[in-house]
Amino acid sequence: MSTSNQSRARILQRLRNNAFAYQVESTRNNLQPDWTPEEKIRQFTDKITAVKGEVIQVKRDNWQTTLSEQFSRKNLKRILVGDNALGEQIRRDNPQRDIGLYEQSIENFKDSLFHQIDASVSGCRCAIAETGSLVLWPDAAEPRLLSLVPPVHIVILESQQLFNSFAEVVEKQQWQNGMPANALLISGPSKTADIEQTLAYGIHGPKQLLVLILSD
Amino acid sequence: MNAAKQAFLKRIDDALHNPQMRRNFRKAMDGIRSKRAEQFIDDDVLQLKRDKARIIRTNSLSKQAELLEKLEARLTQNGIQVHWAETAQQANEIIYQLLNAAGAKTAVKGKSMVSEETELNHYLQQRGIEVIESDLGEYIIQLAKEPPSHIVAPAIHKNRIEVAELFQQFHPDIPYTEDINQLTATARQVLRERFATADAGISGVNFAVAETGTLCLVENEGNGRLSTSAPDIHIAITGIEKVVEKFSDVPPLLDILTKSATGQPITTYFNMISRPRQPGEKDGPKQVHLVLLDNGRSRIGHDAELLDTLRCIRCGACINHCPVYVHVGGHAYGNVYPGPIGIVLEPQRLGIEQAGALTSACTLCGACGEVCPVRIPLPALISRLRAETVNAQQGMASDNTLSGKGKLRTHSEALSWKLWSWLNRNPLVYKGFTRLATRMRFAAPSIPGWSRYRTSPKPAPQSLKEMLKQNGLRENL
């Protein structure tokens, strides 16, 4: 659009005139926590349960049983999982439940996703102890809306993937080298305080968030 | 008197006489302040975090042109289309044309103060595109046909009964309730269909990362993610000052933003968008656009002192701690941005004739400067702008950066200060004046403006100097 280009040129010219030399001062940077694995699990659990997230610690070789129990306990009938090894496994482990893979494009799937799914299960890339956050990089197998639309979202988190802080994740995983289409930090079920500053849970995103933390 | 100033004083008067609104604001501000305080118990840590945030933002502002070009290059490489708008009108037109080309008739919208600046909703509505605000606070004020009264909590001025009555009016099928959980459930139910069927999603941007070409959005409700992931086209609009250089700049800014704004260690969601739907992916918008809006920001940057205004990360902490705001609320300011950041930004954005009177809505208490996460020297900027409203001399901002300098100067005020200054420089005249004031104290005139809401001060029967002399202190002349 030619107007956009003219605007661009004028804006940039004005901004170039504003440019000034600036020496970035270094600051003391010991603001990052550095916890033991057990402390990280405790911090993560405290933070996410404070905002009504649920956490269950499970053994790495036994999480499937807990997951199945939770399906019953929460009365989840139709469950959506990713089109990947995790999804396939959950389907195999729960043959009597209606578990579907997110294998179609949203265009063919919207009605079902918005109206008929009770819960979804996904993995996550890693997690952050300081803020009680899960890090997800949605992809072809586990798309964006999987962790957003169904009213209950269950996440399988490997405890070894629990980092101290967001800054640590960004640095250690070198996010500056390239970002996916969508990356997310999820820190609890959805909430709002727009009416009288009073917290109410379960507005547009999931009403419940359950994290199964896998360790020895 | 300047017309805008007169209207402003009237709005303040109306606000002060609205006890319900004042109660709502008192409660809201006290709550939000104590939540923030809980996040910053260690003051040393807080000051370090503020330094870090200031440095990151100042670095961005020092090379905006370079960073915006880099941002544009990376976004384009990632498949996101970038558009530039000098004015609000241009931004609205660009967005309209994009929606029109896509055949979009409905758009769900996440919260964006920049879109309030441009009055985007109105522009699109006039051209036949329905815009649905999806953030609960924005949805409430959309129903009420009111502007936001706060930059983070737009419906902060409404209590639950007012919301219940609004919902009853617009969702008559749903039984009346004042229960906040049920009102929230109503909003979820009503808006769900809109997310599922909207043709387009519109959002703001909290940080735009030049290094990776990433648009970052902060939210609690999930409406932002839904608006930017469910529809086929996503249009983001942002002010040009929001660009940051590196991805490593993001964690410290996110941390101090959420803690300063709502007293949360983090918001429910932090959404980082770098590309449209990729081949093989099953959802996400097929088109993603970013509109970069200038609307006076590049002009502000010419002045080395006023430039600090642009460090703002829109947390609202200054607003929450302002003693004027708590008493008059956001609507009294009459412009897009209220509170301390508003009275600094609006005169620069809109000019002194339209917004200069706002600079008087300040007690110079300094609280705003103390809580600003990026250390904007708000009290100094407010004083500076106050001077600009009445002083057209050189040494102040040029017409390039600030329009209408000196336009609020009145002869009577200028004369009063000249007289006062002369009085204090002349010992004999001063002596005569104090004698007159003390001896004629009961005939002291009321002070216009001051005595509207307060009793006028009465001079004491003796001046301090007379009292000291009486008590044996020798005058040192």
pLDDT for residue B477 is more than 70: no
In Å, the largest CA–CA distance within chain A is 68
Q: How many CB atoms lie within 10 A of CB A64?
A: 16
B449 is a domain residue: yes
Kindly state the tokens that stand for B107.
């758009």
pLDDT above 70: percentage of residues in chain B: 98
pLDDT band per the 50, 70, 90 thresholds, residue B90: very high
Do B263 and B309 belong to one domain? no
B250 touches chain A (CB under 8 A): yes
Q: Check residue B408 and give its pLDDT.
A: 87
Do B248 and B352 belong to one domain? no
Contact A44, B134 (CB under 8 A): no
Are A193 and B220 within 8 A, CB to CB? yes
A208 CB-near residues (< 8 Å, 6+ apart): A54, A74, A151, A152, A153, A189, A202
What is the residue-wise DSSP string for B134-201?
-SHHHHHHHHHT---SSSS-TTTT--HHHHHHHHHHH-TTSPP---HHHHHHHHHHHHHHHHHH-SEE
Do B310 and B428 belong to one domain? no
B70 touches chain A (CB under 8 A): no
B109 is a domain residue: yes
A45 touches chain B (CB under 8 A): no
Do B34 and B44 belong to one domain? no
A71 is a domain residue: yes
- Cα B202 off chain centre by: 20
A41 is a domain residue: yes
Residue A34's closest CA among A164, A160, A156, A140? A164
Do B250 and B173 belong to one domain? yes
Task: Give residue for tokens 């607003």.
Answer: B319
CA distance A27 to chain B (A): 7
The pLDDT tens digits of the residues spanning B388-418 come to 998 876 555 666 678 888 888 888 888 988 9
pLDDT for residue A1 is more than 70: no
B58 is a domain residue: yes
Q: What is the mean pLDDT of residues A70-87?
A: 97
Domain boundary among B390, B409, B428: B409
Distance between CA atoms of residues A17 and A50, nearest Å = 49
Give the end-to-end CA distance of chain B in Å, rounded to a whole number: 44
**B-proximal residues of A, 139-168, CB under 8 Å:** 139-140, 143-145, 148-149, 165-167
Q: Check residue A2 and give its pLDDT.
A: 56
pLDDT band per the 50, 70, 90 thresholds, residue A27: confident
Are A191 and B221 within 8 A, CB to CB? yes
Do B48 and B29 belong to one domain? no
Number of CB pairs, chain A paired with chain B, less than 8 A apart: 260
Are B281 and A139 within 8 A, CB to CB? yes
Tell me the three-class secondary structure of chain A, residue by residue: CHHHHHHHHHHHHHHHHHCCCCCCCCCCCCCCCCCCHHHHHHHHHHHHHHCCCEEEEEECCCHHHHHHHHHHHCCCCEEEECCCHHHHHHHHHCCCCEEEECCCCHHHCHHHHHHCCCEEEECCCEEECCCCEEEECCCCCCCHHHHCCCCEEEEEEEHHHEECCHHHHHHHCCHHHCCCCEEEEECCCCEECCCCCCCEECCCCCCEEEEEEEEC
Q: What is the mean pLDDT of residues B218-244?
A: 97
Instruction: Tell me what the pLDDT averaged over chain A comes to.
Output: 95
Are A185 and B275 within 8 A, CB to CB? no
Contact B287, B232 (CB under 8 A): yes
A116 touches chain B (CB under 8 A): no
The pLDDT tens digits of the residues spanning B339-392 come to 999 999 999 989 999 999 999 999 999 999 999 999 999 999 999 999 999 887
Q: What is the mean pLDDT of residues B64-72?
A: 97
B349 is a domain residue: yes
Do B240 and B206 belong to one domain? yes
Residues spanned by the domain of A173: 33-215
Contact A100, A81 (CB under 8 A): yes
pLDDT above 90: percentage of residues in chain A: 88
| Interface probe with A: pick from B220, B255, B309, most Cβ of A within 10 Å | B220
Contact B371, B317 (CB under 8 A): yes
Q: Check residue B400 and give its pLDDT.
A: 67
Kindly state the tokens that stand for B459.
């001079």
The pairing of strands B207-209 and B233-239 is unpaired
pLDDT for residue B163 is more than 90: yes
The CATH number covering residue B394 comes to: 1.10.1060
The 3-state DSSP class for residue B239 equals strand
B177 CB-near residues (< 8 Å, 6+ apart): B164, B183, B186
Residues spanned by the domain of B240: 40-295
Q: Which residues of chain B are within 8 Å of residue A18 when distances are taken between CB atoms?
A: 61, 64-65, 298, 301-302, 307
Are A181 and B274 within 8 A, CB to CB? yes
Q: What ipTM goes with this model? A: 0.97
B475 is a domain residue: no
pLDDT band per the 50, 70, 90 thresholds, residue A29: low
Q: Check residue B303 and give its pLDDT.
A: 86
**A-proximal residues of B, 364-423, CB under 8 Å:** none
The pLDDT tens digits of the residues spanning B118-134 come to 999 999 999 999 999 99
The pLDDT tens digits of the residues spanning B274-322 come to 999 999 999 999 999 999 999 999 988 888 899 999 999 999 999 999 9
B477 is a domain residue: no
B264: nearest CA in chain A? A131
Residue B374's closest CA among B63, B49, B113? B49
| Interface probe with B: pick from A104, A194, A207, A209, most Cβ of B within 10 Å | A194
**What is the layout of strands, in order, in the sheet containing B233-239?**
B81-85, B287-293, B233-239, B200-203, B106-109, B130-133
Instruction: Tell me what the pLDDT averaged over chain B comes to.
Output: 93
The pLDDT tens digits of the residues spanning A49-65 come to 999 999 999 999 999 99
Do B114 and B254 belong to one domain? yes
Are A184 and B272 within 8 A, CB to CB? yes
Are A200 and B181 within 8 A, CB to CB? yes
The pairing of strands B81-85 and B130-133 is unpaired
Do B284 and B317 belong to one domain? no
Phi, psi of A208 (to 5 degrees): -130, 140
Distance between CA atoms of residues B34 and B56, nearest Å = 27
Q: Which residues of chain A are within 8 Å of residue B184 when distances are taken between CB atoms?
A: 192, 195, 200-203
A75 is a domain residue: yes
Distance between CA atoms of residues A159 and A58, nearest Å = 10
pLDDT for residue B448 is more than 80: no
A8: nearest CA in chain B? B84
The pLDDT tens digits of the residues spanning B3-26 come to 999 999 999 999 999 999 999 899
If residue B60 lies in a helix (H) or strand (E), which one and from where to where?
A: helix B43-62
- Cα B81 off chain centre by: 28
Do B28 and B55 belong to one domain? no
Kindly state the tokens that stand for B104.
């979009």
B109 exposure class (CB count in 10 Å sphere: 0-12, 13-18, 19+): buried
Do B179 and B247 belong to one domain? yes
Lowest mean pLDDT, pick from B71-75, B253-257, B333-337: B333-337
B448 CB-near residues (< 8 Å, 6+ apart): none
B210: nearest CA in chain A? A176
Distance between CA atoms of residues B110 and B269, nearest Å = 13
A8 is a domain residue: no
| b/e sequence A139-175, b meaning 16+ C-beta within 10 Å | bbbbbbbbbbbbbbbbbbbbbebbbbbbbbbbbeeeb
Q: What is the mean pLDDT of residues B440-468?
A: 81
DSSP-derived secondary structure letter, B340? H
CA distance B73 to chain A (A): 13
A191 is a domain residue: yes
Q: Which residues of chain A are within 8 Å of residue B62 when distances are taken between CB atoms?
A: 19-22
The CATH number covering residue A47 comes to: 3.40.50.10420
Of B155, B266, B284, the CB nearest to A182: B284
Q: Which residues of chain B are within 8 Å of residue A28 when distances are taken between CB atoms?
A: 48
Q: Domains in chain B: how many in total?
A: 3
A44 touches chain B (CB under 8 A): no
Are B180 and A196 within 8 A, CB to CB? yes
Q: Which residues of chain B are within 8 Å of residue A178 when distances are taken between CB atoms?
A: 212
Kindly state the tokens that stand for A168.
């640590």
Residue B129's closest CA among B108, B113, B147, B112? B108
pTM of the entire predicted model = 0.94
Do B127 and B117 belong to one domain? yes
Lowest mean pLDDT, pick from A41-55, B236-250, B422-436: B422-436
Are A190 and B220 within 8 A, CB to CB? yes
Distance between CA atoms of residues B228 and B210, nearest Å = 20
A5 touches chain B (CB under 8 A): yes
Distance between CA atoms of residues B51 and B258, nearest Å = 16
Q: Check residue B459 and give its pLDDT.
A: 86
Kindly state the tokens that stand for B134.
């999806």
pLDDT for residue B32 is more than 90: yes
The CATH number covering residue B47 comes to: 3.40.50.10420
Contact B119, B88 (CB under 8 A): yes
Q: Domains in chain A: how many in total?
A: 1
Q: Check residue B458 and give its pLDDT.
A: 84
Q: What is the mean pLDDT of residues B201-228?
A: 97
Q: What is the mean pLDDT of residues B93-114?
A: 97
Beta bridge pairs of residue B215: B208, B273
A49 touches chain B (CB under 8 A): no
A23 touches chain B (CB under 8 A): no
